[in-house]
Amino acid sequence: MRLMVLLFCLCSAAFAQTPVLPQPAAPQAAPAPLPPAPEFPVKSTILVDYITGQVLAGQNPDERAEPASITKVMAAYVVFTELGAGRLTLDEKVRISQNAWERGLGGSRMFAKVGSEVSVEELLLGVIVQSGNDATVALAEHIAGSEEAFAAMMNAQAKRLGLTGTHFTNAPGLPNEEHYSTARDIAMLARAMIADFPQYYAWYSMREFTFNGIRQYNRNALLGRDDTVDGIKTGHTQSAGYCLLSSAKRGDARLIAVVLGSASEEARAQQSQALLNYGFRFFETHRLYLAGQALSQVQLWKGELEQLDVGLAEPLDLVVPRASYDRLEASMDLPRYLVAPLAKGQVVGKLRVKLDGKDLAERDLLLLEEAVEGGWWSRTYDGFWLWFEDDA
């Protein structure tokens, strides 16, 4: 058997393999040109697929910009993290300081009274629905002792999430030269927040919240206008302009849109709607391979097995322009053989997917099983034949 395998290897010089792509359930329509993404007179935009993180459209997505109250998404992320770690509870009471009350003056506020005690849950709703500066600062002081220390926690989370274009100096998102982010980073934060804290995400779709006898409405105009939109956060200062981080789910697909520096509330809503409609209309998601699915086999020497299965650690989903699936090309770069022992999960190659010759995705190929060394005779026998293999 080993001799037959050796003769096969000697006759083959190809290391790249072509895995079979699964066929769509429905026949593909005739391909049509992908129209250009909508563009607007704003500072920056981005449209991202939630599942894959693929960027579908964008203007200056890495340009530094003032995030305004979109900052509160990171503030809430830090609070959610504390809740998840058991260092905070939703019914825990927070005393409203004079500083927190003053920070709410002249901007969005929850109207929490100085000296009153408000639950963490109510304050979070004040942050998420009412965009309350006072609620955000109150939570920051309660968790970290000061707003400055809380901003340091926000920056630590930004670093952990890979938000390389982001830095915070305050919790509510008030203007500061050293307080900035990018459309790309904001979209990445939104993906993390939805994935890490789905139990709280529904609060971002609430259209109103009443506290202290005062009813306030969510400033996200897309809520109610488009039933598929379920968040996320508005922002506005004179220097930042009108900003909107939005997300919508249609069927199994979810998209995230960011618009920074728009001219008005209505403009940011229309621009965000246009981006979302473009993504849902002209793109589709396909699952190419499952996690742990055997995509190929590699010859093993000096082991108990003669071949090892290789595959992916995670499912591979891709978003492509509609009617372009049949133009995808997949290939694998794998060694001609491996030598035991090897651990399960060890990276041994690459899977690449291209569309019309352009790279679309690259993933590590892993061993799906352990390569245990064979006995003395097997190792000696294979070692002898490997002399010929290495000369091939």
List, in order, residues 6 or more apart from 58 with CB less than 8 Å away. 37, 44, 45, 46, 47, 183, 184
Q: Which residues are catalytic?
A: 69, 72, 131
* Amino acid of residue 10: L
CA 80-84-87 angle, to 5 degrees, is: 95
Q: Which domains does the chain have, with CATH numbers?
A: 44-285 (3.40.710.10), 290-390 (2.60.410.10)
Q: Which spans in 12-108 are helix H? A: 71-84, 98-103
Per-residue pLDDT, 278: 98
pTM of the model: 0.87
Per-residue pLDDT, 338: 87
Which residues of the chain carry a pLDDT beneath 50? Answer: 1-15, 376-377, 379, 381-382, 384, 391-392
Per-residue pLDDT, 392: 47
Beta bridge pairs of residue 208? 217
List, in order, residues 6 or more apart from 375 with CB less than 8 Å away. none
Contact assessment for residue 302 and residue 275, using Cβ atoms and an 8 Å cutoff: no
Per-residue pLDDT, 349: 95
Q: CA-to-CA distance for 237 and 183, rounded, in angstroms? A: 16
Q: pLDDT tens digits, residue range 290-318?
A: 999 999 999 887 778 889 999 999 999 99
Per-residue pLDDT, 239: 97
